[in-house]
Amino acid sequence: MAAPKKSAKPPVVGLRHPNQYVYSCMANRYAIEREEGFVLAHFGLVNHANVLIDRLTVVFSDNTLESLKENLVKYSDEAGEPKKEIPKWVPPVRDSKEISYIPVVDFLHLCNWNDTNAEMCFWSYSQGQMSDLSRMGGKNEFMVPWGIALLRCPVDLQRAFLIELYPA
Amino acid sequence: MFAVVNDAVTSEVTIAPAVIAQSNFAGVSPESFNLGGSDAAVEAVVTQHWSAEMAQRFKDLSRVEALGELTIQELAELETLTRLRRSTKYPRTADEILWSRRQNSVTSGLVMAVQKYVEFHKATNRP
């Protein structure tokens, strides 16, 4: 009996940029917290007096990090290593009001310019919707993800964050 | 009844977009995402392309570097070209990149240890 033929190309679904972001912020500190099955990424904006004036925490599942590995590590290789060290930062414990909301990330859109500025956009989408669209098999299926947060930071912070996110 | 205001003054804004050096997203290409059950994978996207001029410049700078005559600006340019050449002409997988980082880290640790060893023997007089 002949083996079943493999389909030439798996179904693909494209992502468009989100129409808007729920939150936008800046950061000059970051910290990564590894847990079982997920990774918390903390970002903070600290002023001259070392006072935290804004913060953002998002969560990546291990599965998402694995699926983004090729993309993010290749980007990290292109972007290079940080030229200036980002000070170590321990994010303060979140209070009870904050605990209820940590958005989950499905795609991380990155860019940098002028060798100084960088942007990290955290997108979220339904895996179920993605799967349904893929099953429909159309040639130009697109999905508009939810823009969780847009974060502006120094390029060295982005470089250091990526190297720590995927340790050698 | 509504009156149409024709002489409204609005602030027109013209924005010069930043020249993005690197990005990991193709925009609207459906090929960017490759969904196969739980093995969803995203391909990395290189925004800059390797050109014949860049290849020539890379050769020229490499030659000058071999003679040890590069300025700091040229060295930075060579580093940028080297990275772009590697990612566009000879792309490596994520595992190869991480392996290479580990190798660099181990090598630099070894060099530092040897340096310390040499300094120790130079600086100390045995009792």
Residue of B nearest to A17 (CA): B27
Longest dimension (CA), chain A: 74
Given a cut of 60, whether residue A22 has pLDDT beyond it is: yes
Q: Kindly state whether residue A4 falls inside one of the protein's structural domains.
A: no
Which of B33, B47, B87, B99 is most worth mutating to test chain A (most A CB atoms within 10 A of its CB)? B33
Instruction: Determine which of A62-71, A81-90, B48-57 has the lowest per-residue pLDDT on average.
Output: B48-57
Structural domain spans, chain B: 39-91, 93-127
pLDDT 10s digits, A56-81: 999 999 999 999 999 999 999 989 89
CA distance A92 to chain B (A): 31
The first and second tokens of residue B114, run together, are 């040897």
Which range (A92-101, B34-43, B81-90) has the least confidence?
A: B34-43
* Structural domain count, chain A: 1
**Look-up of token digits 């969803």:** B40
Q: Per the CB < 8 Å rule, is B41 touching A75? A: no
Helix%, strand%, coil% for chain A, nearest 5 = 25, 35, 40
- Residue B42: list chain A partners with CB under 8 A: 67-68, 70-71, 107
Q: Would you say residue A81 lies in a domain?
A: yes
B interface mutation test: which of A17, A73, A107, A163 has the most B CBs within 10 A? A73
Q: Which residues does B73 contact at the CB level (< 8 Å), separation at least 6? A: none
ipTM: 0.79
Measure in Å the smallest separation between the Cα of A156 and chain B Cα atoms: 14
Q: Lowest-confidence range among A100-104, A140-144, B32-36?
A: B32-36
Show the domain range for A155: 14-165
Residue B55 host element (H or E): helix B52-66
With contacts defined as CB-CB under 8 Å, which chain B residues touch A130?
Answer: 33, 35, 40
Is A1 within the bounds of a domain? no
- Among residues A153, A159, A157, A166, the alpha carbon closest in space to that of A76 is found at A159
